[in-house]
Amino acid sequence: MRRLIYVLLFSTLLVGNTLADEGMWLPSLVNKLNISEMQKLGFQLSAEDIYHINHTSIKDAIVALDRGSCTAELVSKEGLLLTNHHCGFDEIQSHSSIANDYLQDGFWAMSREEELPNPGKSVSFLVRMEDVTDEVLAEVSQDMNEEERNREIQSVARELEKEARGESHYETYVRSLFNSNQYFLFVTETFNDVRLVGAPPQALGKFGGDTDNWMWPRHTCDFTMFRIYTGPDGKPAEFSEENIPYQAKHFLPVSLKGVQDGDFAMILGYPGGTNRYETSYGVQYIMNVTNPVRMEVRQEKLRIIDEYMGSSQKARIQYASKYARSSNYYKYSIGQNKGLDNLNVVERKIALEQDFTRWVNADLERIAKYGKALDYIRDAYSDVELKRAQEYMAEALLRGPEIFMFAYRALPLYRLLSEDNPKPEFLEMVKSRVTNGIDLYFKDYDVQTDQKVAAELMRLYANNVDPQFHPQFFSTIQKKYKGDFEKYARKMFKKSVFDDPDELNDFLEKPTLKSLEKDMAFQAAHHIFDQFREMNDLVKEMDDKLDLGNRLFLAGLIEMQDDKRFYPDANSTLRLTYGQVLDYEPRDGVVYKYYTTADGYLEKEIPGDDEFDVPERMKKLLLAKDFGRYASEKGELHACFISNNDITGGNSGSPVLNASGELIGIAFDGNWEAMSGDIAFEPELQRCINVDIRFVLWVIDKYAGASHLVDEMEIIQ
């Protein structure tokens, strides 16, 4: 059966029709699957120009930022990178202070010496990818349960990774595709010295703020610049003054030719995750559990943070990045539910599953293979209360207050202190885990704000989750504090060393088991994680059923729809999507054209507003209309444009390339009308929002006066 599924999978990939704009394709398969269609749309290069392991290709100019949180692209021989402003937001915020407010004023390194290091920042290049399905599944049999199957797969995958890595400094990993019906080996090279080079002020890089987020028309100049550094030998190295700029194997030429309606557009990047083959059961769970929980919890958290951020410049800088991260998917969840509902996705999924059931039941062999697939999936979602408790735990207690996760760092220390005569060298090692990054942590931390968040989110959890899933210390809150979470939070923060750097450092000088046993925040964190593990154990059997059901359902679906090309869901590996620059009609009587101009800044301006303020220098430059070589044929400065490329989270910062493989824009968002896109792609509505590369260069050159950075690029007129 395993062999047959794989043969069917690969053969269906080679036939049938798929809309050119839909699909996140593996670059190594473009030559077999996509190149002829791409060339019909106007693409002028070959598949080997995109992906090749023996000579340089476009893939060598594309990097995963921080192992896939965003994408960036090389635009010079000297390791210069372009990505989104929001992809560099943490670094901009980290370097900001009241004296040097780079969030508000922007940052531009006028020399290499001024470029700022960023500990923990990384970029990863794809060296090669290889289909290893036959090897991974060689010893997998039908009579294995999911645990046995996974154990065999992991064992073989580890050996393949080890063999591919050899004695090199490369990283290797095997990833599953098509719900564990196919496996690919990826070899990557990671660099850890990544320095901040330039960023526009937030008024440009995040113009429109939360109001315009996920919306079109858009006018945001969403970009940041970094540079990769290597050791003197050209290999990856930690930050050092002796390091040198990365010498690019390939970098993208930058086009000033602009875009027209219907132009070919291609994006390469690292999309994080999609669920295009999700069943109706999974979609209903997302709509009824995951998204509502996220919206409810984050609404309260954002309200408290926003209140603090409005109190001072220091507060705004401290919490800017935290607020942005939380608010992005808060709004996304609202839009996704609306989109899934408007597009009747559940009903369409049910209709497909009914077709699938009829197809399965028409053949005894298919009944034996796939007959229980949907039953397994339905059963996996049967205990909604338990899964809802998991969602609330993750949102309200694990990702909610900062103190719980921070205090839990001390668990290894707690365990070591529980032993008789712990070795001093081990004590020092586990203490370093607690102190790692402590200065940066407390730089962006406000005790009173976190205390308010803790009180409110604990209350939310208690009110919405069955008491059987409450962490142990909740009983103390009910009995001793009469259910007053605010009172408990005040006491907890008072009786903890994890909210104050001085108290924490004093404790770590002479750590004792008794101190941790009395520390209320540490004990609460301990109980929270204990409860979370218990819930995970309870759902393990359900998760195994879900994995099995999804795997069988997709294998059967591929066999049933043998006239269709299937592409794998995104999983933070390099993908290619191609399509066109296109306008769209979001609703009756409304047409959105494919581009915006910088005039929108002046039209949207609200002086002094956090989201729509226009810096005085920007206003003067726009009114003067000194756009130079960055102007369109009509003399306009184009701001953003839309294309029907298929992207998702992780694609932020991805290069948008024209038919000649030249950089024409940077992808940064999707549109509100198609927020269902991670589950159901809608070609008539789904659009990728991109900042026009001419706008980016104009800001660097005219606004910032950093023309040396433009001079470093290969500009195509």
Q: Using one digit for the tens of pLDDT, what is the confidence trace for 324-349?
A: 999 999 999 999 999 999 999 999 99
Tens of pLDDT along 654-678?
Answer: 999 999 999 999 999 999 999 999 9
Q: Are residues 496 and 392 in the same domain?
A: yes
**Shortest CA distance to 62 belongs to which of 82, 88, 42?**
82
- 259-285: average pLDDT: 98
Which residues are CB-contacts of 194 (< 8 A; sequence separation ≥ 6)?
Answer: 81, 118, 121, 122, 123, 226, 227, 228, 229
The confidence band for 420, taking pLDDT boundaries of 50, 70 and 90, is: confident
- 544-569: average pLDDT: 96
Q: Are residues 421 and 527 in the same domain?
A: yes
Tell me how many domains the chain contains.
2
Q: Within 10 A of 468 (CB to CB), how many other CB atoms are there?
A: 8
pLDDT for residue 12: 40
- 318 pLDDT higher than 60: yes
The confidence band for 13, taking pLDDT boundaries of 50, 70 and 90, is: very low
- 577-592: average pLDDT: 95
- 16 pLDDT higher than 70: no
Q: Is residue 225 part of a domain?
A: no
- 598 pLDDT higher than 70: yes
* DSSP per-residue letters across 216-273: SS------EEEEEEE-TTSS-----TT-EE---S----EE-S---TT-EEEEEE----
- 42-56: average pLDDT: 97
CA distance 471 to 468: 9
pLDDT for residue 5: 44
CA distance 336 to 286: 9
Q: Is 222 a catalytic residue?
A: yes
Q: Are residues 603 and 682 in the same domain?
A: yes
Q: Are residues 711 and 664 in the same domain?
A: yes
pLDDT for residue 17: 40
The confidence band for 20, taking pLDDT boundaries of 50, 70 and 90, is: low
CA distance 3 to 181: 10
Q: Is 36 a catalytic residue?
A: no
Q: Are residues 711 and 594 in the same domain?
A: yes
Q: Is 627 exposed, middle or buried (0-12, 13-18, 19+ CB in 10 A)?
A: buried
Q: Is residue 177 part of a domain?
A: no
Q: Are residues 317 and 451 in the same domain?
A: yes
Q: Is residue 121 part of a domain?
A: no
Tens of pLDDT along 457-466?
Answer: 999 999 999 9
CA distance 664 to 556: 40
Q: Is residue 108 part of a domain?
A: no
pLDDT for residue 164: 98
What would the two tokens of residue 582 be?
């296109």
Residue-averaged pLDDT of the chain: 95
Q: Is 515 a catalytic residue?
A: no
Residue in 193, 212, 222, 701 annotated catalytic: 222
- 606 pLDDT higher than 90: yes
Q: Which residues pair with 642 in a beta bridge?
A: 689
- 464-482: average pLDDT: 97
* DSSP per-residue letters across 509-560: HS--HHHHHH-HHHHHHHHHHHHHHHHHHHHHHHHHHHHHHHHHHHHHHHHH
- 181, 566 Cβ separation under 8 angstroms: no
Residue in 52, 85, 86, 527 annotated catalytic: 86
Q: Are residues 495 and 623 in the same domain?
A: no
- 4 pLDDT higher than 50: no
Q: Is residue 315 part of a domain?
A: yes
The confidence band for 424, taking pLDDT boundaries of 50, 70 and 90, is: confident
Q: How far, rounded to the nearest angstrom, does the alpha carbon of residue 649 sit from its chain's CA centroid?
A: 4
pTM over 0.85: yes
Q: Are residues 354 and 396 in the same domain?
A: yes
Q: Is residue 627 part of a domain?
A: yes
Q: Is residue 82 part of a domain?
A: no
Q: Are residues 459 and 593 in the same domain?
A: no
- 517 pLDDT higher than 70: yes
User: Cis peptide leading into 217, omega within 30 of 0?
Assistant: yes
CA distance 495 to 504: 12
Q: Which residues pair with 63 in a beta bridge?
A: 72, 125
Q: Are residues 543 and 590 in the same domain?
A: no
Q: Are residues 461 and 328 in the same domain?
A: yes
Q: Is residue 184 part of a domain?
A: no
The CATH number of the domain where 589 resides is what?
2.40.10
User: What is the DSSP-derived secondary structure letter of residue 581?
Assistant: B
Q: Within 10 A of 443 (CB to CB), how many other CB atoms are there?
A: 14
Q: Are residues 704 and 668 in the same domain?
A: yes
Residue in 124, 176, 652, 676 annotated catalytic: 652
Which residue segment(s) compose the domain that 443 sits in?
280-548
